[in-house]
Amino acid sequence: MDLPPSSAASKGGITRFFVEHRLLGWLTMFAVLVWGWLAFQSLPQQEDPTFPTHDAVLVTVHPLLDAAQMEQEVTAPLEAALARLPTLEKLQSQSRDSISTIVIRLQADRKEVIGEQWRKTREILQAITLPEGCEAPRLETDYQLPATLLFAVLGAEAGPAADVIEKELRSVSNTGRIRQFGHAPEQIASFEDMVAASYSVRTLHRAEDGPLKPWASVLVAVEMKAGNNIHDFKEAVLARTGSLRLPEGVKVITVSDQPAATAHRIGEFLRCFIEAVLVVVLVALLLMDWRTALVVAVAIPLTIAMTLGGMAALGVPLQQISIAALIISLGMLVDDPVVASDGINRELADGQPRGIAAWLGPFKLRRAIFFGTLINIVAFLPLALLPGDMGAFIISLPVVITLALVSSRIVSMTFIPLLGYYLLRGQKGFDAASGSHPLHRLIPFYKSTLQHALRRPLFTIIAAYGLLGCSTALIPFFGKQFFPVAERNQFLIDLRLPEGSSIEQTQKVNAQISDRLQKEEAVQSAVVVSGGGTPMFYYNVLPRQPAANVAQVLVNTRHAEDVPALIVHLREVFDREIQDALCLVKQIEQGPALETPIQIEISGGDIPAKTAQVRQALTVAGAYKVHDDSDVITRIDQQRTVTVKALAPFGMLASGILNKARTSFPASGIAFGGEERELTTSQREMERVLKISLALIALAMMVQFRSVMKSLVVMLTVPLGLTGAFAGMAATHASFGFMALIGIVSLAGVIVSHIIVLSDFIEEERAGGVELETALMRAALVRLRAVLATVFATVCGLIPLAVTGGELWRPLTAVHIFGLLFGTVLTLVLLPVLYLQFARWRWIR
């Protein structure tokens, strides 16, 4: 209950304290800014979030067994033993001549729990008895760690030079694992040595603007220990390698540079963030007088400084998700300062002295500000409950937004009153219709629309929800894509010859690929590996197990914009020139690691017939490079399985291919992998998060309004945002995937938090004895500026992220921008109408 000025004079809490102790307030403000700057300088930096490593690969060798014997005598017993692991999620194995490979996936959990499970795994392996002559199983639990820097050492003396480089780099602080690839052993003493001897690397390198030349080479992959500054690490490594005296004719080039990619990505997002700040300040200037806009503008760096300090305390690094979270939160974090400033202006306009108005305005609105902040938090924070890799990928989004909103709440109740004391002079609301502000011209239109809606409430309600129903007709036209491609100047060429092919045959086909790449001006360098895959250089490009019939090429182009056209061109060329091998030219994607987006797992009886049927269906549907792994004995969860895989033609979505093909698939014995499985799993998990979020929002409003029905009135406006969300996705051609789901889940709280001040004022007017319709009309006009300022700040702040943030953020920004615009316009009319109708039905008193 709001306090009259006479009784409020003895209240005010921290809000009043900062107004009456202004010197301390200024010192605190300065300290917060310094804290934020120091935190920013100390934050670790990386390009993308780090996925938890809860997979391991188990490799077992028996030189005398063929593939079928390896399956029966080695793979099957190992799988049966490993099935006892309590947190096992999936086992997938391949049995080839002399070698068994099992990928063990555990359920996502804390690092300590995962480590304990690997300890139990080693105990299980020590207890199992394998055939005589079988080498001890080798468990690799860190095979998914990408190289921070990947060097190619070029020249005839590349091997010895690589040894010197490795020895020297081990003395660099914060250096983790260092590995060499392509350095053949001098003597073949084991099967492992034989495999290593067949693994060869040639690097194509363009010196300045010269031709692309092939070099015999050895790769050196260098990893940085977690939690360090990636830029400083690179500087230290390059300083050490640059000071080395290497044999004549040896060159060292960087073929994968995670620090450079990180600096580029963070630089883009920081520019995007600065643009968003400027846009938000401009919106404040358009909707408010310059004094109020200045107060709101100063609130932004103060809030961001607190947020950065919180990120440093919680160990949240700077990467594309955390910086994008700052951008997304910009509009929301000005919500509280706008409402607080509006409250101060109204008190000043009503004649209160500035020493009282500066704290009384925010103090009277403290409940609305608190619950608006709380509802925004519960719109995003439940995303932290997402399990598995997706939860780890997105965790910094809800954490950073929560930090920003809590910081905004603190700023609005401390520094805004302090700034308001000096800067604000009083500004009336839009209920004072006489004014020079351009938006005053819209007031008569809004008033007449609202009056018309209040006269015909049932018609208005039916029309609003009818519009929502019509918007759902757009859903079938959305493309489905779990994650978009990574916008990097790199792509991969995967090569697989028929099982049993020799390393010489593989090298011959790889030579064809190298010859073609040397003719392409857009190619800056390429690492051509025969007998296996490249070292892991990106967080979701998993390394391939060595085999004589396998090869991989990592291509670096001059610019990221060169990649799409070059992929289309090379696919046409290799489809024509390479007939006896599977050659996949593919972009690097974001999100979880997927070998191909289309995967159909076939098990049970009559596998060959089902495999042929699935292949035929995908081919007819237009899938590109349909293939399967039937030439290798593959088991998933101890059951023989053949996986049919394919890509979508360039520029098309895998979901479109599957939709055409699925009606021709076998009725049983198949399971969807790839994008389809990931998206289905995410939708199920997002539904649970959405239910939790809506329940928390409703609970917060019931506490605020002390009424179920009044909370229901506000909650009924939430679905209206979907009208704009669906329209926005259709208008921007955004795909329905993981980020779109996040946008839809969080949209509800953002809409509610922006219009909750309207509901709060309606209750305030009614408590003062104002007649209902008059209270509804007056509340709508009084709070219109605060609602529009926060909505436009949120929407306009997202525009730089939508335009320059890349494909990853297009679905989420489309949902929020269009959802908020449509939702707010509809809500500004429908919320008063629902209040009126519920009162007439006597559901609200």
Q: What is the CATH number of the domain that holds 88?
A: 3.30.70.1430
Residues 695 and 838 in one domain: yes
Give the Cα separation of 430 and 784 in Å (integer).
Answer: 7
Whether the Cβ atoms of residue 88 and residue 54 lie closer than 8 Å to each other: no
Give the Cα separation of 692 and 698 in Å (integer).
Answer: 10
Is residue 518 in some structural domain? yes
Low-confidence stretches of the chain (pLDDT beneath 50): 1-9, 433
Residues 213 and 350 in one domain: no
What's the structural domain count of the chain?
A: 5
Last residue within a domain, chosen from 93, 116, 140? 140
Residues 307 and 327 in one domain: yes
Give the Cα separation of 205 and 208 in Å (integer).
Answer: 9
What is the extent of the structural domain holding 16? 1-42+294-427
Helix (H) or strand (E) holding 720: helix 720-732
Residues 843 and 696 in one domain: yes
Contacts of 778 (CB under 8 A, 6+ apart): 431, 765, 770
Cβ burial 164-192 (10 Å sphere, 16+ → b, else e): bbbeebeebebbeebebbbbeeeeeeeeb
Instruction: DSSP letter for 717, please.
Output: T
Residues 700 and 820 in one domain: yes
Is residue 287 in some structural domain? no
What is the model's pLDDT at position 68? Answer: 94
Give the Cα separation of 214 and 206 in Å (integer).
Answer: 9
Give the Cα separation of 750 and 331 in Å (integer).
Answer: 10
Phi (first) and psi of residue 672, to 5 degrees: -90, 135
Helix (H) or strand (E) holding 627: strand 624-628
Pair of tokens at residue 534: 């490249």
Cross-strand pairs, 527: 203, 554
What is the model's pLDDT at position 110? Answer: 79
Residues 76 and 6 in one domain: no
Residues 366 and 515 in one domain: no
What is the model's pLDDT at position 433? Answer: 47
CA nearest 163: which of 185, 135, 133? 185
Q: Where are the beta strands (DSSP E) in 18-79?
A: 55-61
Residues 756 and 659 in one domain: no
Give the Cα separation of 528 and 201 in Å (integer).
Answer: 6
Last residue within a domain, chosen from 390, 412, 427? 427
Residues 88 and 156 in one domain: no
Whether the Cβ atoms of residue 818 and residue 727 lie closer than 8 Å to each other: yes
Q: Which residue intervals of 243-334 are DSSP H helices?
A: 258-287, 290-314, 320-333
Is residue 243 in some structural domain? yes
Contacts of 248 (CB under 8 A, 6+ apart): none
CA dihedral 626, 652, 394, 827 (to 10 degrees): -140
Cβ burial 626-650 (10 Å sphere, 16+ → b, else e): bbbbbebbbbbeeeebbbbbbbbbe
**CATH code of the domain containing 393:** 1.20.1640.10
What is the model's pLDDT at position 464? Answer: 92
Helix or strand or coil: residue 640? strand
Is residue 267 in some structural domain? no
Residues 832 and 694 in one domain: yes
What is the model's pLDDT at position 289? Answer: 80
Residues 582 and 635 in one domain: no
Is residue 283 in some structural domain? no
Pair of tokens at residue 569: 């061109």
Contacts of 554 (CB under 8 A, 6+ apart): 255, 256, 490, 492, 526, 527, 529, 534, 537
Pair of tokens at residue 444: 């008569």
Is residue 280 in some structural domain? no
Whether the Cβ atoms of residue 507 and residue 528 lie closer than 8 Å to each other: no
What is the model's pLDDT at position 707? Answer: 85
Is residue 412 in some structural domain? yes
**292 exposure class (CB count in 10 Å sphere: 0-12, 13-18, 19+):** buried
606 sits in the region (left: phi over 0; alpha: psi -120 to 50; else beta) called: left
**CATH code of the domain containing 502:** 3.30.70.1320
Instruction: Kindly give the pairing relationship between strand 624-628 and strand 639-647.
Output: antiparallel
What is the chain's alpha carbon radius of gyration, rounded to the nearest angstrom?
Answer: 31
Give the Cα separation of 539 and 542 in Å (integer).
Answer: 8
Last residue within a domain, chosen from 647, 672, 697? 672
Pair of tokens at residue 832: 């008063």
Residues 707 and 560 in one domain: no
Is residue 579 in some structural domain? yes
Give one DSSP letter per residue of 543-582, joined into a string. Answer: PPPP-TTEEEEEEEESSGGGHHHHHHHHHHHHHHH--SSE
**CATH code of the domain containing 640:** 3.30.70.1440
pLDDT in tens, 766-821: 888 888 888 888 888 877 877 887 788 888 888 988 888 888 889 999 999 999 99
352 sits in the region (left: phi over 0; alpha: psi -120 to 50; else beta) called: beta
